[in-house]
């Protein structure tokens, strides 16, 4: 991350992509061996308790899913399959995992992304409004931030539902009705994340505030707002960018729970169903997809650093 | 209060000192509040019967969906059970799960972190790359994967959350241990021929403790919340249990006419998370000073 002359951006990108591929390979390997080691007998999971004791059937199923091959062969097949985008076959539904997930990825992703945008806007808003104000304002926002971070999104969802859907009837309580049904779940996910981001940005602003360049900017006649927007906010954005991948992961994870609360379609329902039936191909596919999202988000964050902070464009990094 | 140790504060304008005193006072109040809540939670955990006016599972069909009031502080649920008593008894399930999960995370993380810090370079590399991969999975999804592998239930939920937390502790312990291992007393122990496992446990581990306690305090809060979330999904304890997540799931069906069933367990949950956060942050501020 340190030094990054713009000319070497392609090489940097290549290195990042390579690291990303390695992390993904690790993710696939870890899930594969975790499933084979801890999964006990996967054939039991496929057949269910009733049919698990029929010997002929077991051999047949083992052959069908390729579970009778040596572990190394299974692993190599798994890698090869994933390389061409084949996520495996669901035990429970007996159809390709990609078909099980296909309709469910977008609702979850749209929920997570809208929550990310709302969360970032909320955090920016709070930071800009409160930055450079008195001690009381700082303490007040700090309390709000701590509270926002402590509230689990799924319970916040229940609160919002209870207030805005059942008492005030402003928003639909359940299901998918376009944008209006996206508002409350996005807010439920966004507010805790906004709390974390605002905390991080505030912390950085507090550090920056006493630097000489802030004093000189103020001496040049910059007002409170101008100072924040033109000078100090940039600094606060940097640690927030570092958190981007973590935020996205948290949102996808939280979405699973929030979807349950709002009875929304999405990965949540499919995933919990799969977890309950020990349908490991579906679960590991979702986990691997989430790891891929994490890797991509991290790479984008790395590319954003020099855009936000000019010092990172030159060999002498701060 | 030594402000001069922090380089960024040396240039602070006059009056910052007073602000510093105030934040310390605020911090102390926050720590006191956190400890108070934690003590109350501990009491509920050990002796729920003292505070709960009713048993957690006695149905009272004549008084279903009673609003919060003098008889039932938090109202009653669809079976006429006292929500307040259920929240009190629920502490045992929800908080305990979080504590066990954190213990698993700390234990696993300490073993991995110490091994990485003390082991050969190859061991270190393998463990650190493993935590890289580990951290690429969102915690909730990783916990779900573990549950898919080992099955549902309260113990499984604790294990799953603990496993998802391991890499954070592993990295922290490794970093701290590397710093401590350069200390003279560790060098001395090495020279004296003390075997690695012994000086690691006797000399390194105790000095790694501080930051780990901070992270564990913060982590307990999120572990309790995660446990409630997984219970809400129906992967933890089963319905008659007064677990907070189970109560949320049950109460959610009656939000239209009885908000209190799902709201109060959540309040308890938020209080616990807040207490854990406040304690963790105060300890952190102390160790930084």
Query: pLDDT tens digits for B138-188?
Result: 888 889 888 888 888 888 899 999 999 999 999 888 888 888 888 888 888
Q: Is residue B56 part of a domain?
A: no
The whole-model pTM stands at 0.81
**B138, A290: Cβ pair inside 8 Å?**
yes
Straight-line distance from the first to the last Cα atom of chain A, in angstroms, rounded to the nearest whole number:
11
CB burial string B34-66: b at 16+ within 10 A, e below: beebbeebeebbeebeeebebebeeeeeeeeeb
Min Cα separation B47/chain A (Å): 26
Mean pLDDT of A187-206: 87
- Could you read off the pLDDT of A86-123 as tens digits, one per residue? 777 777 777 888 888 888 888 888 888 899 999 999 98
Interface contact B22-A152, CB threshold 8 A = no
A217 contact B CB<8A = no
Can you say how many angstroms the Cα of residue A267 is from the centroid of all Cα atoms in its chain? 13
Residue B263, domain CATH: 1.10.3720.10
pLDDT in tens, B230-283: 998 888 888 888 888 888 888 887 877 877 778 888 888 898 888 888 888 887
> Considering Cα of B234, then B237, then B239, then B245, what sign does the dihedral take?
negative
B259, B19 in Cβ contact below 8 A? Answer: no
What mean pLDDT, rounded, does chain B reach?
Answer: 79
Of residues A70 and B214, the one with the higher pLDDT is B214
Q: How far apart are CA B122 and CA B2, in angstroms?
A: 41
Interchain pair A274, B148: CB under 8 A = yes
Burial (CB count <10 Å: 0-12, 13-18, 19+), residue A317: middle
Closest CA to B268 of B34, B94, B66: B94
Q: Do A150 and B228 touch (CB under 8 A)?
A: no
Q: Would B221 be classed as within a structural domain?
A: yes
Q: In whole angstroms, what is the distance from residue A155 CA to residue B260 CA?
A: 12
Look at residue A47 in the predicted model and tell me its pLDDT: 67
B65, part of any domain:
no
The answer to whether residue B61 sits within a structural domain is no
Report the mean per-residue pLDDT for chain A: 79
More confident residue, B141 or A13: B141
User: Which pLDDT band, with edges at 50, 70 and 90, does A150 fall under?
Assistant: confident
Cα of A89 to nearest chain B Cα, Å: 16
* Residue B271 neighbours by CB under 8 Å, 6+ apart: B37, B41
Partner-chain residue, chosen from A150, A211, A291, that has the shortest CB–CB distance to B137:
A291
Contact by Cβ (8 Å): B102, B163: no
Tens digit of each residue's pLDDT (9 = 90 or more) over A205-248: 888 877 888 888 888 887 777 777 877 888 888 888 888 888 88
**Which residue in chain A has the smallest CA separation from B27?**
A139
Highest-scoring range by mean pLDDT, A60-64, B93-97, B201-205: B93-97
B-proximal residues of A, 43-102, CB under 8 Å: none
Closest CB to A260: pick one of B132, B228, B232.
B232
User: Which residue in A27, A146, A212 is closest to B277 by CB distance?
Assistant: A146
Amino acid A178: pLDDT: 67
Query: Would you call A294 and B251 a contact, using CB atoms and an 8 Å cutoff?
Result: no
Confidence of residue A315 (pLDDT cuts 50, 70, 90): low
Report angle CA A257, A261, A264 to the nearest 5 degrees. Answer: 90
> Which residue of chain B comes nearest to A29, CA vs CA?
B133
Interchain pair B139, A276: CB under 8 A: no
Instruction: Return the percentage of chain A with pLDDT > 90, whole number.
Output: 1
Q: Chain B contacts of A189, Cβ < 8 Å?
A: none
* d(C-alpha B118, C-alpha A269), whole Å: 44
**Residue pair B268/B87 in contact by the 8 Å Cβ criterion:** yes
Q: Quick one: pLDDT at residue B198? A: 83
Tell me the percentage of chain B whose pLDDT exceeds 70: 87
With residues binned 3-state (H G I as helix, E B as strand, rest as coil), the percentages for chain A, rounded to 5, are 80, 0, 20
Joined together, the tokens standing for residue B218 give 């913060």
Instruction: Assign A51 a pLDDT band (cuts: 50, 70, 90).
Output: low
B119-137 pLDDT per residue, tens: 888 888 888 888 888 888 8
Q: How confident is residue A19, by pLDDT bands cut at 50, 70 and 90? A: confident
Distances (CA, A) of A93 to A34, A78, A281, A290, B262: 22, 19, 11, 22, 33
pLDDT at B54 > cutoff 80? no
Tell me, rounded to whole angstroms, the distance of Cα B77 from its chain centroid.
Answer: 28
Residue B272 lies in a domain: yes
Which of A138, A275, A297 is the best substitution to test chain B (most B C-beta atoms within 10 A)?
A: A275
Nearest-Cα distance to chain B for A249, in Å, is 5
- B132 contacts in chain A (CB < 8 Å): 23, 26
Q: Which residue of B has its CA nearest to A269?
A: B233
pLDDT of B166 reads 93
Q: Is residue B189 a part of any domain in this protein?
A: yes
Answer positive or negative: Cα dihedral of A304, A307, A308, A313.
positive
pLDDT of residue B224: 92
Rounded CA-CA distance A203/A197 in Å is: 10
Place B19 in a pLDDT band, splitting at 50, 70 and 90: very low
Q: Please indicate whether, in this complex, the C-beta atoms of A275 and B13 are within 8 angstroms of each other.
A: no
Does residue A87 sit in helix, strand or coil?
A: coil
> Which of A206, A257, A260, A279 to mutate: most B Cβ within 10 Å?
A257
Which of A112-116, A164-168, A297-301 has the highest average model confidence (pLDDT)?
A: A112-116
Asked if the C-beta of A38 comes within 8 angstroms of chain B's C-beta atoms, the answer is yes
Quote the domain boundaries for residue B280. Answer: 28-46+75-288
In chain B, how many domains are there? 1
To 10 degrees, the CA torsion angle through A220, A222, A226, A230? 20
> In whole angstroms, how far apart are CA A315 and each of A6, A82, A304, A310?
10, 39, 16, 11
As a whole number, mean pLDDT of residues A9-27 equals 81
Q: Is residue B216 part of a domain?
A: yes
CA of residue A284 relative to chain centroid, distance: 16
Question: Among A29-43, A196-210, B29-43, B89-103, which stretch is predicted with the lowest mean pLDDT?
Answer: A29-43
φ, ψ for residue B182 (rounded to 5)? -85, -10
Determine the distance in angstroms separating the CA of A4 from the nearest CA of chain B, rounded to an integer.
23
Helix B83-118 to helix B260-288 angle (10° resolution) is 30
Q: What per-residue string of b and e applies to B91-112 under the rule 16 or more CB within 10 Å gives b?
A: bbbbbbbbbbbbebbbebbbeb
* Model confidence band, residue B223 (pLDDT cutoffs 50, 70, 90): very high
| B20 domain-assigned | no
């Amino acid at each position: 991350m340190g030094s990054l002359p713009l000319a070497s951006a392609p090489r940097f990108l290549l290195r990042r992509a390579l690291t990303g591929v390695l992390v993904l390979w690790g993710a696939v390997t870890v899930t594969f061996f975790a499933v084979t080691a801890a999964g006990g007998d996967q054939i039991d999971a496929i057949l269910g308790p009733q049919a698990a004791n029929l010997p002929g059937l077991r051999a047949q199923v083992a052959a069908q899913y390729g579970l009778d091959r040596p572990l190394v062969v299974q692993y190599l097949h798994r890698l090869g399959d994933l390389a061409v985008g084949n996520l495996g076959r669901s035990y429970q539904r007996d159809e390709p995992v990609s078909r099980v997930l296909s309709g469910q990825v977008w609702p979850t992703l749209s929920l997570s992304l809208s929550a990310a945008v709302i969360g970032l806007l909320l955090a920016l808003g709070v930071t800009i409004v409160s930055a450079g104000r008195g001690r009381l304002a700082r303490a007040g926002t700090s309390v709000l931030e701590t509270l926002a971070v402590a509230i689990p999104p799924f319970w916040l969802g229940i609160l919002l539902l209870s207030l805005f859907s059942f008492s005030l009837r402003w928003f639909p309580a359940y299901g998918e009705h376009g944008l209006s049904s996206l508002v409350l779940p996005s807010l439920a996910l966004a507010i805790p994340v906004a709390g974390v981001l605002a905390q991080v940005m505030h912390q950085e602003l507090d550090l920056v505030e006493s630097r000489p360049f802030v004093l000189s900017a103020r001496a040049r006649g910059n007002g409170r707002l101008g100072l924040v927007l033109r000078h100090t906010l940039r600094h606060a954005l940097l640690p927030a960018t570092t958190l981007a991948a973590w935020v996205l992961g948290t949102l996808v994870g939280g979405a699973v729970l929030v979807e349950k609360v709002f009875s929304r379609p999405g990965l949540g329902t499919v995933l919990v169903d799969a977890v309950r039936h020990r349908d490991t191909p579906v679960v590991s596919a979702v986990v691997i997809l989430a790891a891929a999202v994490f890797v991509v988000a991290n790479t984008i964050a790395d590319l954003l650093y020099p855009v936000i902070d000019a010092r990172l464009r030159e060999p002498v990094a701060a | 209060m030594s402000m001069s140790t922090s380089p960024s504060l040396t240039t602070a304008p006059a009056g910052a000192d007073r602000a510093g005193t105030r934040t310390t006072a605020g911090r102390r109040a926050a720590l006191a509040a956190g400890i108070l809540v934690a003590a109350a939670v501990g009491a509920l955990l050990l002796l729920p019967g003292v505070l709960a006016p009713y048993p957690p599972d006695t149905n009272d069909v004549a008084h279903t969906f009673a609003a919060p009031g003098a008889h039932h502080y938090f109202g009653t649920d669809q079976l006429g059970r006292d929500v307040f008593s259920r929240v009190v008894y629920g502490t045992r399930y929800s908080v305990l799960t979080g504590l066990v999960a954190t213990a698993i995370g700390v234990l696993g993380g300490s073993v991995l972190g110490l091994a990485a810090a003390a082991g050969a370079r190859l061991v270190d590399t393998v463990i650190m790359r493993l935590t890289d991969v580990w951290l690429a999975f969102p915690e909730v999804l990783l916990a779900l994967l573990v549950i898919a592998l080992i099955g549902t239930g309260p113990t499984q939920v604790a294990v799953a959350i603990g496993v998802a937390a391991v890499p954070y502790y592993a990295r922290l312990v490794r970093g701290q241990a590397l710093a401590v291992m350069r200390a003279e007393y560790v060098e001395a122990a090495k020279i004296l021929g003390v075997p690695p496992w012994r000086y690691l446990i006797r000399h390194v581990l105790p000095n790694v403790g501080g930051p780990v306690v901070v992270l564990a305090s913060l982590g307990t809060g999120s572990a309790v919340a995660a446990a409630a979330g997984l219970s809400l999904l129906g992967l933890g304890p089963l319905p008659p249990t007064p677990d907070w997540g189970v109560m949320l799931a049950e109460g959610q069906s009656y939000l239209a006419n009885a908000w209190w069933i799902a709201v109060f367990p959540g309040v308890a949950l938020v209080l616990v998370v807040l207490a854990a956060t406040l304690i963790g942050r105060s300890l952190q501020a102390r160790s930084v000073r």
